[in-house]
Amino acid sequence: MFSELPTPCVLIDMNRLDQNLNVMEQRIQKLGSSLRPHVKTHKVVELARRQVRDFAGGITVSTLAEAEHFAQCGFKDITWALPLPQSQIKRALKLSKSIQLNLLIDHPVTLTFLEEELKSCNQSAFVFLKVDCGYGRAGVLPDSNQALLLAQKMHKSPHIEFSGLLTHAGHSYDCRSKDELKGISKQERNSVLRLASRLRQANIPVPCISIGSTPTMSVVQNLDGIDEVRPGNYVFFDRAQVNIGACQLENIAMSVLSTVIGVYPERKEILIDAGGIALSKDEGPGLSKNKYGLVVDVISQKPLYQCDLHALSQEHGKIKYTSEKPPFNIGDRIRILPNHSCMTAAAHHIFFLVRNNSLEGQWTPMKGW
Amino acid sequence: MFSELPTPCVLIDMNRLDQNLNVMEQRIQKLGSSLRPHVKTHKVVELARRQVRDFAGGITVSTLAEAEHFAQCGFKDITWALPLPQSQIKRALKLSKSIQLNLLIDHPVTLTFLEEELKSCNQSAFVFLKVDCGYGRAGVLPDSNQALLLAQKMHKSPHIEFSGLLTHAGHSYDCRSKDELKGISKQERNSVLRLASRLRQANIPVPCISIGSTPTMSVVQNLDGIDEVRPGNYVFFDRAQVNIGACQLENIAMSVLSTVIGVYPERKEILIDAGGIALSKDEGPGLSKNKYGLVVDVISQKPLYQCDLHALSQEHGKIKYTSEKPPFNIGDRIRILPNHSCMTAAAHHIFFLVRNNSLEGQWTPMKGW
C-alpha cells in the first residue's frame, strides 16, 4: 500500500485517531462539560462530524472561510475564535443569517463597529467576551475594569446576544511537564470563573463559559462551572504535544510519507522528497536532532534514532545517519512524525487514511481565508 | 483598494516584479547565457510566460505535478530539478510522451530503474547528471570517478538522451555579502566546467551545462561555457535574499496584507490576522527582531522599525511596538515583507496584483504533488 501512494503525502493513522477522539470525549464527559472541538487543525468536515457525536454539535473555527464551509456542510453552531476583524463584519453577519455564528470581541472599538453594522441591517449577533487567562495574545484581563465595562456594554446592547466568556491557555505550549500543565489548566479555569463571578455580582448573566487548549484539556481534572471546552490538535497530536506532556509519541496520528531519492555515503546523508512545503518549517521543540520531524519506520512507526532530519529545502529533506551503512536504499519509503500537525496539515490538499497498514479512504481539507 | 481585500492575502507589487524580471533577463542575456527560470517560487502560468519571453522557453519545476500542470498550459520543455524518485518513473514517462521532460539522476540505481522502465515501454528520456558544486544536498562530486562512470553509462545507454550537467549552488544562501556570493558563483560555474572538460576528454559529449540560484545569478560576472541558468526566487525576492546580498529591501515584490484585530497598550502589543499559515514559519535570517517578517507601511512599503513581528500562532500574529502610543488602530491594514517568499507563496491560493496601489488582477498558483 505505502509503495503505491504518491509522495510526499499525509497519512492519518485511523486507530490512533479513534483513540485520541475517544480519550478526549470520555475525559470531558466524565468532567461534566461539553466538547466544542476546534477544527482548524484538520479543516475536514467528515472528521468534525466524528468529533461532535454525542455532544451539542457546536464547533470552533479559526477563519471565516472555515465557518462558511462548515455551515454549508450542515454545522449550525460555530464559534469563530479570532477577535472579529472590522473588515469581515459584513461577511460574518451575512453568514449569521443562516447559522448561529458566535463572534469574539475584546475591544470597545470593535464592539462599536459591530453595533453600527447590526443596527443598519436590523440584525443581532452572538458575541463572547474574549478573556486573556495569562497567554498574552488576545483578550481582556479578567481582573480589569475594562472586562466588566465591555461585558456590561454587550449585555445592554439591543443588538448583541452576550454569550459569555471565552479563553484559551495558549501559554500551555510552553510547559515541559504534566505538573506545569496542570497548573496552567487551573489558571485557565479560575481566571474565567473569577470574572464570571464579578459579572454575575454586577447582574450580568454569563450564559456560557468556554475554555480549552489541547495541552490543558489533556490533563485537566476539574471542569466544574465550565460549560464547554475547545481543544483541536488532540485529533492528531504531534511532537510539540509530546514535549509539552500532553501525549506520547504513540498517540501521534499524522505522519508524512516520503521517498528516499538520494543516498550519499561519503557524507552519511540521505535525501528525501519531503521538504519545507510538505512538512512546514515549524522547528521542533528545542531539539538539536530531528529539528524538522521525527523519522520513523514506515510500517511500525517506531522512531529511527540513527536518522536526523536536520535540513529542509522547498521539496528536499536531508537526513544524516549515524549507522555504519545507509539505513535506506534509493526508492525506500519512510514516515515522518510532524513537529506541529496544524501547520503540516495546512500544507496538504489530501489526507490518506490508513488503518492497520491498509488504505481506508481519503479526506479533503478546506483551504483559504 | 487595500481596505477592500480580504485578509490575510498575498500582494504582488507589479512594478517591482517587472523590474526584477528585467534586471535578471538583461544580466543573463549580456553574459551570453539562456534563462530557464525555476517556477517553483510562484507556480503561476501567467508569470512563467512573462519570464520566458525572448528566451528558449524552457522552465524548471520542483514537482512532477508542476510539470504536468505547466505542460497542460503549453510549456513544452521542462526540467524537473529533483533527483528522479523511483516511484514517479512511470508517471514521468507518461508526461514525456507529450513534452520534453528533462530528468535528473545522480545515482546508478535510479538509472537502472529508469532504463528498465524505458526498455519495457520502448521510450527514451532526456536526463541530466546532477552535480554537487559544494552545496551537499544532491549530486555527484565533480572530481569523482562516479561522476565519470555515471555520465558514461548514460551516454552509452540506448534509451537515454544524455542532456548534460546540472548543478545548483544552494550554499549561496549561507552567504552574508556580495563578495562571498561572487566566490560561490565562481565555484558553481567552475565545478561543472571542470567535469564537462573531463567528460569531453573521455569523448562524452555534454550538450548542455545548466547552473544557477537566485543569489549567484544576481552577482555572477562570467557565464562563459554555461548554456543556461535557473534562478527562481528573483521574481519576488525576500528578506533572506536581502540578507545574502542578492537584492535590496526595495526589490521585494511580495507582501502579505493583514488587518489589525487587537491593540493591547498594557503590554505594547498589536494583534494581526496573519499567522503561521499565511506567512510560513520560516524564521528570518538570524534576526532577533521581526523574526517572522518585516512590518511595512501599507502604501509606501517603508519599514516600520518600531514594530517587531515576534510571534505567530496559526491565524494570529503578535507585534510588539516601541513607540509611546500604539502605531495602529483596530481595523488598520499593514503589509509584511516575507522572510522566504517561496514558502509564503505556497501557503496562498490567490495572489493579488497591485500596481501603483491599484488592483491590476489576480493569479492562481497550482498546488500539490
- pLDDT tens-digit map of A82-131: 999 998 999 999 999 999 999 999 999 999 999 999 999 999 999 999 99
Residue A168: band (very low, low, confident or very high) from pLDDT cuts 50, 70, 90: very high
| Residues A92 and A217 grouped into a single domain | yes
B315 with A82: Cβ contact below 8 A? yes
Number of C-beta neighbours around residue A3 at 10 A = 13
| Residues B216 and B75 grouped into a single domain | yes
Question: Contact, B125 vs B114, CB < 8 A?
Answer: yes
Residue B4: band (very low, low, confident or very high) from pLDDT cuts 50, 70, 90: confident
Per-window interface: A 144-163 vs B, CB < 8 A: none
In-domain check, residue B16: no
**Residue A55 in this model has a pLDDT that exceeds 70:** no
Residue A207: band (very low, low, confident or very high) from pLDDT cuts 50, 70, 90: very high
Q: Chain A residues with CB inside 8 Å of B261's CB?
A: 82-85, 110, 138
- Taking the alpha carbons at both ends of chain B, their separation in whole angstroms is 34
Nearest by Cα to A96 from A111, A80, A119: A80
Handedness of CA A98, A39, A91, A228 (dihedral sign): positive
Q: Nearest by CB to B85, which of A107, A259, A311?
A: A259
Q: How far is B225 from chain A (nearest CA, A)?
A: 28
The secondary structure of B225-267 as a DSSP string is: T--EE---GGGT--HHHHHHTS--GGG--EEEEEEEEEEEGGG
At residue B191, the pLDDT reads 96
**Residue B338 in this model has a pLDDT that exceeds 80:** yes
**Residue B80 in this model has a pLDDT that exceeds 80:** yes
Mean pLDDT of B133-156: 96
SS3 at position B74: coil
Check CB contact of A314 with chain B, cutoff 8 Å.
yes
Per-window interface: A 251-290 vs B, CB < 8 A: 259, 261-263, 266-267, 269, 271, 273, 276-278, 280-283
Cell numbers 490518506: residue: A352
d(CA A6, CA B30): 42
d(CA B265, CA A146): 13
At residue A4, the pLDDT reads 87
SS3 at position B138: coil
d(CA A90, CA A113): 10
Nearest by Cα to A212 from A178, A172, A180: A172
Give the helix ranges, DSSP H, for A220-309.
239-244, 276-279
Inter-CA distances, B207 with A175, B30, B51, B156, B165, Å: 58, 21, 23, 15, 8
- The domain of B226 spans 31-235
**Residue A1 in this model has a pLDDT that exceeds 90:** no
In-domain check, residue B266: yes
At residue B1, the pLDDT reads 79
**Residue B56 in this model has a pLDDT that exceeds 90:** no
Cell numbers 507589487: residue: B13
| Residues A172 and A131 grouped into a single domain | yes
- pLDDT tens-digit map of B300-322: 999 999 999 999 999 999 999 99
Q: Nearest by CB to A83, which of B261, B278, B346?
A: B261
Number of C-beta neighbours around residue B266 at 10 A = 10
Check CB contact of B356 with chain A, cutoff 8 Å.
no
**Residue B284 in this model has a pLDDT that exceeds 90:** no
Mean pLDDT value across chain B: 95
| Residues B171 and B225 grouped into a single domain | yes
- pLDDT tens-digit map of A249-303: 999 999 999 999 999 999 999 999 999 999 999 998 776 788 999 999 999 999 9
B82 with A8: Cβ contact below 8 A? no
A40 with B263: Cβ contact below 8 A? no
Q: Nearest by CB to A330, which of B7, B107, B141?
A: B107
Check CB contact of A113 with chain B, cutoff 8 Å.
yes
Residue B288: band (very low, low, confident or very high) from pLDDT cuts 50, 70, 90: confident
Q: Chain B residues with CB inside 8 Å of A230's CB?
A: none
Characterize the bridge pairing of strands B294-296 and B333-337: antiparallel
d(CA B104, CA B79): 8
| Residues A138 and A220 grouped into a single domain | yes
* Adjacent-strand bridge partners of B259: B333
Handedness of CA A190, A192, A194, A196 (dihedral sign): negative
Per the structure, the count of domains in chain A is 2
Per-window interface: A 182-211 vs B, CB < 8 A: none
d(CA B298, CA B204): 56
CATH code assigned at A51: 3.20.20.10
| Residues B212 and B263 grouped into a single domain | no
Nearest by Cα to B63 from B32, B30, B87, B46: B87
| Residues B224 and B277 grouped into a single domain | no
Alpha carbons within 13 angstroms on the beta-carbon side of residue B359 total 13
Q: Chain B residues with CB inside 8 Å of A172's CB?
A: none
Check CB contact of B8 with chain A, cutoff 8 Å.
yes
Characterize the bridge pairing of strands B125-131 and B160-167: parallel
In-domain check, residue B248: no
In-domain check, residue A1: no
CATH code assigned at A336: 2.40.37.20
d(CA B29, CA B53): 12
Residue in B closest to A340 by C-alpha: B314
| Residues B90 and B212 grouped into a single domain | yes
Check CB contact of B369 with chain A, cutoff 8 Å.
yes
d(CA B318, CA B312): 6
| Residues B213 and B276 grouped into a single domain | no
Question: Contact, A317 vs A269, CB < 8 A?
Answer: no
At residue A56, the pLDDT reads 63
C-alpha cell at B299: 502604501
Question: Contact, A152 vs A217, CB < 8 A?
Answer: no
Pick the residue of A90, A281, A352 with the most B CBs within 10 A to test the interface with B by mutation: A281
A262 with B107: Cβ contact below 8 A? yes
Q: How far is A207 from chain B (nearest CA, A)?
A: 25
Mean pLDDT of B189-193: 96
Residue A310: band (very low, low, confident or very high) from pLDDT cuts 50, 70, 90: very high
**Residue B280 in this model has a pLDDT that exceeds 70:** yes
- Taking the alpha carbons at both ends of chain A, their separation in whole angstroms is 34
At residue A202, the pLDDT reads 97
Q: Nearest by CB to A6, which of B267, B283, B369?
A: B369
| Residues B201 and B258 grouped into a single domain | no
| Residues A55 and A183 grouped into a single domain | yes
Lowest mean pLDDT among A36-50, B278-292, B328-342: B278-292
At residue A339, the pLDDT reads 97
- pLDDT tens-digit map of A324-368: 999 999 999 999 999 999 999 999 999 999 999 899 999 999 999
Q: How far is A238 from chain B (nearest CA, A)?
A: 15
* ipTM given for this complex: 0.95
| Residues B175 and B35 grouped into a single domain | yes
